[in-house]
Amino acid sequence: MRLRPALAITLLCAALAAQASPTAGPPHPDAAPTPATAASAPRGAAIERFLAQQGWMGPPGEGGETSHWLGQAREGATGMVRAAMGFLGVPYRRGGNTAAQGFDCSGFTRYVFERSLGLVLPRRADEQARLTDLLSIRKDELRPGDLVFFNTMRATFSHVGIYVGEGKFIHAPRAGAVVRVEDMRDSYWERRFTGARRAPTATN
């Protein structure tokens, strides 16, 4: 039986986490390698293999037109999506800005954009949506690496995530949840979609 994307990725992250130290929190990307982080070094390759098995990207090393969303993205957006996927399973934390602390939705997008593109986004989701440096994108123009916004708190731009292709996005959803991939075509998200933005640097 084929698992739903969010559940399947959550299970994958749990399995990967079990290989690391049970008492260690998620490693900070800037931290020096430790035995625990060294043991989890294959995490990226495991995620890529899993995505390929689910049909969300081509096999590792496959390029050109036969690749799926990750291989088709432009170089800047590809790096951003890869960076974002590296935080799958990090717990949600209101006001959280780093992997060590946990992320809320806008803290997650801000962290990924700064580390991947060198672009410092405002802290709040509505401020990110209104940033004049970002390009407004229609839903049918979405590409991996674009910001996608939703109305989840009776406010137009109250939630944000990063589009990863094939109708899916990665985000930090809510208290008690973890960073995960979900499908924008699910009725909940489809009804609440309020717009998308693209960093000019991701189009180069």
Concatenating the DSSP letter of every residue in 93-107 gives -TT-EETTTEE-HHH
CATH architecture of 5-20+44-203: Alpha-Beta Complex (3.90)
Reported as a single tens digit per residue, the pLDDT across 180-203 is 999 999 999 999 999 999 998 765
Domain ranges of the chain: 5-20+44-203
Helix (H, G, I), strand (E, B) or coil at 31: coil
Is residue 13 part of the annotated active site? The answer reads: no
- Dist CA 78 CA 83 (whole Å): 8
- Dist CA 119 CA 168 (whole Å): 23
Q: Point out the catalytic residue in the list 13, 28, 68, 159.
A: 159
Statement: the pTM of the whole predicted model exceeds 0.85: no
- Mean pLDDT within 83-110: 96
- Provide the pLDDT confidence category of residue 76 given band limits of 50, 70 and 90: low
Is residue 105 part of the annotated active site? The answer reads: yes
Reported as a single tens digit per residue, the pLDDT across 116-165 is 999 999 999 999 999 999 999 999 999 999 999 999 998 899 999 999 99
Q: What is the predicted pLDDT for the residue at 41?
A: 42
Reported as a single tens digit per residue, the pLDDT across 14-51 is 444 433 333 333 333 333 333 333 334 455 555 555 55
Q: Point out the catalytic residue in the list 13, 28, 68, 105.
A: 105
